[in-house]
Amino acid sequence: MLVLGQDEKAKYPFLADAGEYLKDKGFSLVQFGSDPVLKLSVEKALHRIKVAAAGEVYKSDIDKDGQASKDYVLEREVFSFLLAIVLIKLTGMSTLIKRFALAEARRAENYLEKDLGNASNKSKIDLATRIIYDLFNIEIIKENDFFVIPVSDYLKHSVTFHEREWKLINRHVENGKVFLTPDKTVRLIRKELGNYISSKIINAPKPSMIPGLENIVNELILISKKLTPTYTITTGEYPPCIKHAIDILEKGENLPHSGRFMLATFLLSRGQTVQQIAPLFKNAPDYNPRVTLYQLNHLAGTSGSSTKYACPSCEKLKTQDLCFITKECDNIINPSQFGKKRK
Amino acid sequence: MNEIDIKFLEDSFKKYYFNHFDLISSPGRTSEREFGYQKFNSSFFNRHISLKDDKELHLLFMQNIPSDVYCSNAYYAFPNSPMNEKDWKEADLIFDIDAKDLNLSCRKNHTVSICNQCNEISKNTNQCVKCNSTKLEKKSLPCKTCIEASKIEVLKLSNVLTDDLGINKEDIHIYFSGNEGFHVYVYNSQFQQLGSKERSELVDYIMFHGAIPETFGMKKFKPNRSSFPDFDQKGWNGRFSKQVFGSKSKRSKIISELLSNGYSSFQKTLDDVSEQIGVKIDPNVTMDIHRIFRLPGSINSKSGLTKSLCTDVIKFEPYTDACFLNDDSVEVLANCPVEFKLKNKKFGPYKNQKISIPTYAAAYLICKKLATIA
């Protein structure tokens, strides 16, 4: 377990044990609802959540090195984080958990990046690499100005990124290792950091309502409800990859197995039945109605393992040479999102 | 395939298996792998078989005389359970390099088509010359050019695997697939536990897919010459330099050209370069972590040739070194419009001819549906 100083706790408050921290400082949760001085921390917590809900990163009162002029400033940083968790638990809104965890991850990211990039202070680098190792089991080694990590570790984290910059081909790779700058190293674990923080929130026990905080909790519930997006289909048009696959089949040419998989899973996701889809394949050079039905039923989850297969992502289709992107694709990451607009 | 042809192939395969158990072994940790096999003229695929050791494996060969035998790259806790209950542990990294994916101009000279409707055999691969049907089964009899081009891809792949991905040379095993290409196995690597998505990223890296101009020194705004790669750099930067600049003396001039052509033109350059320096592997094979692969040492029923380990891929001659069936003479009725070479001997072309040829050549033609026992 990491032993942290007060300034480090202010930078990485999610590493602190909430219950123990309050006990150490000699406070109970109930006091935060009534004590006017402690209420300042509650207001800060509310602000911290509101900023996160708006998709921004909360700006701390501590400087980039985690220092502050007064000790109580550091203390309030930790309090406001712990109280924000209490408030979110009291709202019971999962949208808030996600947004808050992401924003806090990005905040911590700034400090981690600063610590990693701090060439003159080895202990700061050690702390940052220790945090990354303890939390995410990734061993990072400093090599000159870069941090190197095994390619397999890099891939496990980078596959969820959609920006092309994160593809392995766009990284310096040598001898089984990926070379990263401090900012990229930290960016790589943002999602895990977010997951770590949200799992901390999810696993925290739900406190009973603290008298004096009811209004704040209600305000947060209202904010959260406004955030939940609704999706609607505005067009029934097929994306270019699907149109291309249908074209190939109509011409009686061979569509590779991966293309057939994409087409079938896409149409299933659009609510078509196996019986509606099967005739599409009748022009294929190796068409066999029995095999086609068997495979479609398998994909639909009506036979075999009852797993319903999802349409592959745009990224995967690119690798398989099945992507024929147009500007109408509009940055979607899966063909099934084509033509759907966020309200 | 008729009964007599099947009997002939089964007898020939059995003889080979009986005499070559030394060549047939599972790629290690036998009891954790899934095995499968097919028999001649049966579309049924026997899968989800678990075997204790090579002895049991050899027994499977003798009892079933399979046309094809397969073994998983994955290791499971329960290899004989249904797919979703197998409990996947890890999988070797496998690459498939196939001559048919290399867009070689020689292909049209040695690809024949068999009409699904009237069985006519011809070199016209678009439609049947007799009944105009477009439902054709294509068979290729790969030539030396195909094999040499595949070998180049294997060498490119080995280079990326060792230099970039840090894999030990001893952990890379290269096999001739028994038909038109090579299978490259990687054991004990840091990639054993990667899932399909991560492997697909690895595939893009190896194929040089998805590169952006910034990676190779071309910035969108205020580009400058100092950020372009150089010859002595490791990985794709070095390979890019060799391909695009050609020689050190031309580097400066070509960078000037690249800069004046601009960012989008550079992206186009990268796409072209990808075609030349990217390794041409079949992405679907490497991404699949539940696949079963032809077992090393077993015969490929598409050709009658053996999937063989290549200790020196450059010197490896598949049509000699992987041709293990015997020389006994057999009489066949052959209809093969292209010529081919096995064990350094030329055969064909044959136009509905009754001929006497060695067993290995007869099996090759019968496997390709271009001959039957007379």
Going from the N-terminus, what domains does chain B have, and what CATH number goes with each? 3-101+143-204+282-373 (3.90.920.10), 209-277 (no CATH)
| Tens of pLDDT, residue by residue, chain B (374 residues) | 899 999 999 999 999 999 999 999 889 999 999 999 999 988 889 999 999 999 999 999 999 999 999 999 999 999 999 988 999 999 999 999 999 999 899 998 999 999 988 888 988 888 888 898 888 888 889 889 999 999 999 999 999 999 999 999 999 999 999 999 999 999 999 999 999 999 999 999 999 999 999 999 999 988 889 999 999 999 999 999 999 999 999 999 999 999 999 999 999 999 999 999 999 999 999 999 999 999 999 999 999 999 999 999 999 999 999 999 999 999 999 999 999 999 999 998 999 999 999 999 999 999 999 999 99
What pLDDT does B328 receive?
96
Dihedral over Cα of A295, A300, A305, A309: its sign:
positive
The verdict on A167 touching B (C-beta cutoff 8 Å) is yes
For residue range A129-157, list pLDDT tens digits in order: 888 888 888 889 988 889 999 999 999 99
- Specify whether B327 is catalytic: no
3 state SS of B347 = strand
B82 min Cα distance to partner chain A (Å): 9
CA distance linking residue A47 with residue A107, whole number of Å? 14
Q: Is residue A46 classed exposed, middle or buried when 0-12, 13-18 and 19+ CB atoms within 10 A define those classes?
A: buried
Question: Cβ(A42)–Cβ(A32) under 8 Å?
Answer: yes
B119 min Cα distance to partner chain A (Å): 15
Who's near A288: CB < 8 A, 6+ residues apart? none
Asked if pLDDT for residue A208 goes beyond 90, the answer is: no
User: How far separated are the first and last CA of chain A, in Å rounded?
Assistant: 46
Average pLDDT over residues A255-284: 88
Asked if pLDDT for residue A236 goes beyond 80, the answer is: no
What pLDDT does B18 receive?
94
Higher-confidence residue of A298 and B330: namely: B330
CB contact under 8 A, A159 and B198: yes
In the chain, the amino acid numbered B94 is I
Question: Cβ(B200)–Cβ(A322) under 8 Å?
Answer: no
Q: How far is CA A6 from CA A64, A71, A304, B363, in A?
A: 15, 8, 57, 79
Cite the DSSP H helix spans in A204-328: 214-227, 240-250, 257-269, 274-277, 289-300, 314-319
CA distance linking residue B45 with residue A13, whole number of Å? 57
What is the distance of C-alpha A282 from the center of its chain?
42
For residue B200, the chain A residues in CB contact (below 8 A) are 315-316, 319
Return the number of other C-beta atoms located less than 10 Å from residue B70's C-beta: 21
Query: Which of A218, A151, A215, A157 shows the shortest CA–CA distance to A179?
Result: A151
Contacts 24+ apart (CB under 8 A), B59-62: B60/B35, B61/B17, B61/B24, B61/B298, B62/B14, B62/B17, B62/B18
CB contact under 8 A, A174 and B208: no
Least confident of A272-281, A282-291, B28-37: A282-291
- Specify whether B98 is catalytic: yes
What pLDDT does B202 receive?
97
Average pLDDT over residues A289-316: 85
- Specify whether B22 is catalytic: no
pTM of structure: 0.82
Asked if pLDDT for residue A109 goes beyond 70, the answer is: yes
For residue range A176-191, list pLDDT tens digits in order: 999 999 999 988 888 8
What pLDDT does A69 receive?
62
Q: In degrees, to the nearest 5, what angle opens at C-alpha A309 toward C-alphas A303 and A312?
A: 155
In the chain, the amino acid numbered B66 is P
What pLDDT does A23 receive?
79
Residue with tokens 């049209």: B108
Which DSSP symbol is given to A26?
T
Average pLDDT over residues A242-259: 86
Mode of pairing for the β-strands spanning B329-336 and B350-358: antiparallel
- Tokens, residue B286: 């490497």
What pLDDT does A136 receive?
84
Domain ranges of chain A: 6-135+189-227, 139-186, 240-342
Confidence band, pLDDT 50/70/90 cuts, at residue A343: very low
- Tokens, residue B312: 């020196």
Tell me the residues of chain A between 239 and 298 that have a Cβ less than 8 Å away from chain B: 252, 256-258, 285
Look over chain A and give the mean of its residue pLDDT values, rounded to a whole number.
Answer: 85
Question: Cβ(A83)–Cβ(A91) under 8 Å?
Answer: no
Q: What is the DSSP string of A176-209?
A: TEEEE-HHHHHHHTHHHHHHHHHHHHHHSPPPPP
CB contact under 8 A, B209 and A165: no
**Angle between helical axes of A94-116 and A71-91 (0-180°, round to 10):** 150
A144 min Cα distance to partner chain B (Å): 17
Interface residues of chain B, partner chain A, Cβ below 8 Å? 82-84, 116, 134-136, 163-167, 190-191, 193-194, 197-198, 200-205, 208-212, 214-215, 234-237, 283-284, 287
Who's near A242: CB < 8 A, 6+ residues apart? A262, A263, A266, A267, A335, A338
- pLDDT above 90 covers a percentage of chain A that reads 27
Confidence band, pLDDT 50/70/90 cuts, at residue A88: very high
How many pairs of residues across A and B have Cβ atoms under 8 Å apart? 96
For residue range A49-67, list pLDDT tens digits in order: 999 998 888 887 776 555 6
* Partner residue opposite B283 with nearest CB, options A172, A177, A320: A320
3 state SS of A90 = helix
